Amino acid sequence: MAAVKGQQGQAPGTIEDMQTLARRHNGRCLSSTYRDTNTKLLWQCDQGHTWESTPSNVKAGSWCQVCGKARREAQWLAEMQALAQARGGKCLSIRYTRFQEKLRWECDQGHQWDATPGGIKTSGSWCPVCSVEKQRLTIADMHVAAREHGGECLSASYFDNLTRLRWRCAQGHEWDAKPMHIRLGQWCPRCGRQWRLLTMAQLQAVAQARGGMCLSVHYGNDGQKLRWRCAHGHEWMQTPSKIKGGSWCARCVRNSYTIADMQALARLRGGECLSDEYVNSQTKLRWRCDRGHEWSTRPGVIIKGHWCRECVWLDLSTKDRKRRRYLAVPDAA
């Protein structure tokens, strides 16, 4: 059959070419005539599904959507089963059609629950029953909390986070307090009052030991923010409890990083930092993930735990066309 002359910018072809194209997919072209690359023809896959599509789409790799959907679902379900196995459990669902659809899961303790793949994959959540059991506290936990303050828990049993227990500090003072408050860092109220009588002198000594000073002149309690200045002249507000716990100038901390730190941080994510110089946490650097995506962002963003935005969209996408777009990495110039 003679080739049909295509329109401007279109390659010529014949119906025999279309049949050859279909055989590459183990299918058939059921149409009897070929007009041009943008006129739909009737196709059939090896599973017997039929549909209409343009020759240009088939040449670009598009084929049976029914089979494609089934393959995607099988692939996604296999990923979920592998994810569950990595956590010692199972994915019990036999179908997976979209990212927002809840699946059935089972942990290694036999607990079953329903959750979306997004909740399991991106947020890292797992069995809610095991999670609650791991968070359940005991009187032994209270003894540990007391020892961290150099004291004791005198109660014999633990009920819940809001039922007061008896405590004793290293100075022998006794009082009743909720476990929740102790776990949040509160301790002996008598020692606290005595400490506050000396607070400004103590806080000035802490600041001076770090080459800085406390600029505030009044101090009410350990949770009240005071003004501080470091050796480089940076000023900020922070509570005395945080300063006593080791916190100091955030700007100095941010500016203490090097390009080697950024490269090491990128390697932890399986990627690279492509920049040669680190200025500060607000000056953008160039990054590349393990899929080859490149982007520019501030070091502070990466330090906080963020990474490749395109990979996030790729993991969330359920459509092949979108996944191909995020998987496609342009050749290096």
Please give the structure tokens belonging to residue 167.
């405590």
Q: What is the DSSP string of 136-194?
A: ---HHHHHHHHHHTT-EE--S----TTS-EEEE-TT--EEEE-HHHHHTT---HHHHHH
Strand partners, 63: none
pLDDT-based confidence at 316, cuts 50/70/90?
low
pLDDT-based confidence at 132, cuts 50/70/90?
low
Burial class (CB in 10 A: 0-12, 13-18, 19+), 79: middle
pLDDT-based confidence at 179, cuts 50/70/90?
confident
Mean pLDDT confidence for 51-66: 88
Q: Where are the domains of the chain?
A: 15-63, 67-133, 137-191, 199-249, 257-327
31-35, 214-218, 230-234, range with greatest mean pLDDT: 31-35
Task: Classify 226 as helix, strand or coil.
Answer: strand
pLDDT-based confidence at 320, cuts 50/70/90?
low
pLDDT-based confidence at 194, cuts 50/70/90?
low
